Amino acid sequence: GAVVSQHPSWVICKSGTSVKIECRSLDFQATTMFWYRQFPKQSLMLMATSNEGSKATYEQGVEKDKFLINHASLTLSTLTVTSAHPEDSSFYICSARGEREYQPQHFGDGTRLSIL
Amino acid sequence: KQEVTQIPAALSVPEGENLVLNCSFTDSAIYNLQWFRQDPGKGLTSLLLIQSSQREQTSGRLNASLDKSSGRSTLYIAASQPGDSATYLCAVRQAAGNKLTFGGGTRVLVKP
Residue B30, chain A, CB below 8 Å: the answer is: no
Chain A, nearest residue to B96 by Cα: A101
- Preferred mutation among A23, A31, A43 to probe B, highest tally of B CBs within 10 A: A43
Give residue-wise pLDDT tens across range A22-78: 999 998 888 889 999 998 888 899 999 998 888 899 999 999 999 999 988 889 999
List of chain A residues whose C-beta atoms are within 8 Å of the C-beta of residue B45? 107
- What secondary structure does DSSP assign to A40-103, as a single string? TTS-EEEEEEEETTSPPEEPTT--TTTEEEEEEETTEEEEEETT--GGG-EEEEEEEE-SSTTS
What's residue A89's pLDDT?
95
Give residue-wise pLDDT tens across range B26-76: 999 999 999 999 998 888 999 999 999 999 999 999 999 999 999 999 999
What's residue A115's pLDDT?
95
- Nearest Cβ partner of B102 from A32, A44, A104? A44
Closest chain B C-alpha to A99 CA, distance in angstroms:
12
CA distances from B61 to A51, B18, B44, B48, B72 (A): 35, 10, 19, 11, 20
Buried (b) or exposed (e) across A29-39, using 16+ Cβ within 10 A?
A: ebbbbbbbbbe
